[in-house]
Amino acid sequence: MVRPSDGAGEDGRSWMELNLAPGQSALEHLLVRNLSAETVTFRLSAADGYFTDTGRFNMLTAGEDSTGAGTWIDLQDDVEVPSGADVIVPFTISVPDNAEPGDHPAGVAASIRSGEDAEVGIESRVGFRVMTRVTGELTPLLATSVSAHYTGSLNPFEPGTTHLVYEVRNTGNTRLAVTPTASLAGPFGLFAKEIALDPIAEIAPGETRVLRHDAAGVWPTGVLTVGTHADATAVIDATAAPAATATTSVAAVPWPQAGVVAAMLLLIVAAGSARRRRSRRVADMIDRARSEGRAEAIATRAALALAPVLLASSIIFAPVAAPLAAAAASGEPDDRNIVVTVDVTPVPSPATSAPPHPDQEQLAATGRAVPVTLVTASVALLGLGLWQVSQARRGRRAHSRVER
């Protein structure tokens, strides 16, 4: 076990925080405790420190060369510690004259190596951080960037997921604690939402942290605007750093939802087409009914036009037909059924006049008795009938042209 010491024993610190000016030095101590049942020789080392992506502090390995605060620490190479005993080892931190202001992480550790006789050994190392702040102008500063892609759901009634990859860089000279957030929004702020991202407990100057987050429940709006916002404060004195922001756009095409909308539009178009076909059928039925009605009206007009003609004919020919009907009813012989035999002799003899047939006398008398007014009315009715017949024929021709 290795702990910070005040030179007499453990002093309760978990790590060391030093505030030194360029060219200044400080004397510190570390305590090494042997918890094993035998004496152990520990190898002591100092190296540059850094924070991992999970926020844990670590030191460069023995195979990596330190270029920063790890080179400022002067520490003996090893120490022998009896079983169950503690040994306090002094070391010195010397800040170069040209050291830049700000926080410089480093660490000290004690290690043992197992399998000394083997070609490959395992080194177990324990230690603590030594954080040195060089006085001068402090500049807490942060930068961030973001990229994203969208994964939609096959179910059109379920949202998808936006996968964020955001990067936080400490571009200042102080250690920072960062609280990042992300924002998602469609066009015109549609379905906007804020997401709290995992905070960064500590990031050293010059470090970059790449983090990922999957934001569920995001509806596809064609284009998503993805932004990150990072608030940061200095770890030691809580000095606020300017907020860092970044924005990007990602395609979020609503293919399943577009399929549903397309299906609905097809149904609407099909329903409208069916309604138009029904309307056309009803219109055709109405047109046929009207055509049939017009045809019936024309036929009726033609029939009515013939009525005056028939009436006039009956008036004109009634005087002639009446004697014939009377003769037929009386049973008298009709001249049309009389057979006339003419005997021609060589010597003419004077002809004797035969008495007129009663029917002929009646027909002649009837013909002379037709009034002039009756004849005039009959002719007028006949003309009216012929005019109505011509009008009906003109109407039929016009109707035939319209139908064609």
Which pLDDT tens digit goes with each residue over 2-24? 999 999 999 999 999 999 999 99
Class of the 2-134 domain? mainly beta
CB contact set of 224 (below 8 Å; sequence gap of 6+): 148, 150, 162, 184, 185, 186, 218, 249, 250, 251, 252
What pLDDT is stored for residue 300 in this prediction?
77
Residue in the structure block whose two tokens are 């844990």: 56
Question: What pLDDT does residue 324 have?
Answer: 53
Which segments of the chain have a pLDDT < 70?
A: 115-121, 302, 305-375, 377-379, 381, 389, 392, 395-396, 398-404
Those residues whose C-beta lies under 8 Å from the C-beta of residue 45, and which sit 6 or more positions away, are 59, 62, 75, 108, 109, 111, 125
| The CA-based dihedral angle spanning residues 259, 262, 266, 271, taken in that order and rounded to the nearest 10 degrees | 110
From residue 341, give the alpha-carbon distance in Å to each of 179, 332, 344, 358.
Answer: 148, 20, 10, 21
Could you state, in order of their start, the residue ranges of all structural domains in the chain? 2-134, 142-253, 259-332+360-403
Look up the CATH number of domain 142-253: 2.60.40.10
pLDDT at 256: 87
Q: Which pTM value belongs to this model?
A: 0.64
pLDDT at 401: 64
| pLDDT given at position 133 | 97
Alpha-carbon span 374 to 347, nearest angstrom = 51
pLDDT at residue 321 in the model: 55
Domains 2-134 and 142-253 share a fold: yes
- pLDDT reported for residue 238: 86
